[in-house]
Amino acid sequence: MIENLVDYINATLLLHPHLLQLMHTLFWVKYWLLMGLMGVFIYLVYSEDKQENMRKQSAARREAEHIFIA
């Protein structure tokens, strides 16, 4: 059944090249959206590390100045 579906889709795309171009465009759009989403998550991971280091440094500085924060 799946083989017939794939053959049907291939025949349809060969008969309608504008659909093939549309699929090509949609795949590129999907690719760039996923790359952008991955870039956002990578940025969040690295920026979280920097923020954590800044919190540790400020806590160490407060301890050195003998400031107690409850």
Q: What is the pLDDT of residue 29?
A: 98
Question: Quick one: pLDDT at residue 60?
Answer: 64
pLDDT at 41: 93
What φ, ψ does residue 66 adopt, rounded to 5°? 60, 45
Structure tokens at 51: 């923020």
d(CA 53, CA 47): 10
Sequence spans of domains, the chain: 2-64
- The whole-number average pLDDT for the span 1-27 is 89
Q: Residue 30 pLDDT > 90, yes or no?
A: yes
Per-residue pLDDT tens for 32-49?
A: 999 999 999 999 888 887
The b-or-e profile of 20-42 (16+ CB within 10 A means b, else e) is: eeeeeeeeeeeeeeeeeeeeeee
User: How far is 15 from 9, CA to CA, in rounded Å?
Assistant: 10
